[in-house]
């Protein structure tokens, strides 16, 4: 995937994650139980400015502020908290 992404946004994590998933043609999957266990609010505002990033850099930039991890399994983009 050679596509590059430039993004400047301030939005709730969940909203941003849904939009990015759609843009990448992936089904979003948020591990809400892990979020609860780690007291992470999916409505927390993520402020992001990224230029000329590849897909992995884009996803890293979105999940990093909340200390989350992402993975792609077939056509689903998963995000979870913790290890």
pLDDT at 50: 96
pLDDT at 82: 82
Is the per-residue pLDDT at 83 higher than 80?
no
Is the per-residue pLDDT at 63 higher than 80?
yes
Q: Answer whether 72's CB lies under 8 Å from 26's CB.
A: yes
Name the token pair of 55. 């897909």
Domain that residue 39 falls in: 5-81
CATH number (domain holding residue 14): 3.55.50.30
pLDDT tens across 34-49, in order?
999 999 999 999 999 9
pLDDT at 1: 59
pLDDT at 2: 81
Q: Answer whether 61's CB lies under 8 Å from 8's CB.
A: no
Residues 54-80 as b or e (16 or more Cβ within 10 Å = b): ebeebbebbbeebebbbeeeeeebbbb
Indicate the number of domains in the chain: 1
């Amino acid at each position: 995937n050679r596509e590059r992404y430039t993004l400047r946004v301030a939005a709730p994590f969940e909203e941003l994650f849904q939009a990015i998933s759609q843009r990448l043609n992936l089904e979003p999957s948020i591990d809400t139980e892990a979020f609860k266990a780690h007291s992470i609010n999916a409505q927390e505002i993520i402020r992001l400015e990224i230029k000329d990033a590849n897909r992995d850099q884009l996803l890293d930039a979105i999940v990093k502020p909340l200390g989350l991890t992402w993975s792609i399994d077939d056509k689903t983009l998963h995000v979870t908290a913790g290890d």
